[in-house]
Amino acid sequence: MEIDNDIIVDLREQDDSYLALCRQIGDMERDYPFILNVTEGEGEISLTAEEHRILVEYFRLSLKKDNIERKQIYFRGHTDGYAYLKKIGAV
């Protein structure tokens, strides 16, 4: 959705910790190709204990990123809703 993309662009431009998180996730995907095999590949896969630890950390960071985005979408919805209600004279 266009709104989601706008929110993500805003987060990247305004929130240094979010940008660092995105970079960290991207670095992990680049440095550990098995991550994309797990998340986007098909078929059976086995992991070493170290790969499993890395994958768990990747999922933790991805969930943190997703939660930041959801929170921003939630607040943007409230802001836009209030602006609309104000515009139509309801508040």
Instruction: Quick: pLDDT tens for 8-52.
Output: 898 999 999 999 999 999 999 999 999 999 999 999 999 999 999
Query: Domain count of the chain?
Result: 1
Between CA 7 and CA 10 the distance in angstroms is 5
Residue 43 token pair: 């078929």
Tens of pLDDT, residue by residue over 63-86, are 999 999 999 988 877 777 877 788
Please tell me the total number of residues recorded for the chain in this structure. Answer: 91
Residue-number span of the structural domain to which 76 is assigned? 2-87
**Which runs of consecutive H residues, i.e. helices, occur in the chain?**
2-14, 16-31, 34-40, 49-87
Task: Tell me the residue type at 6.
Answer: D
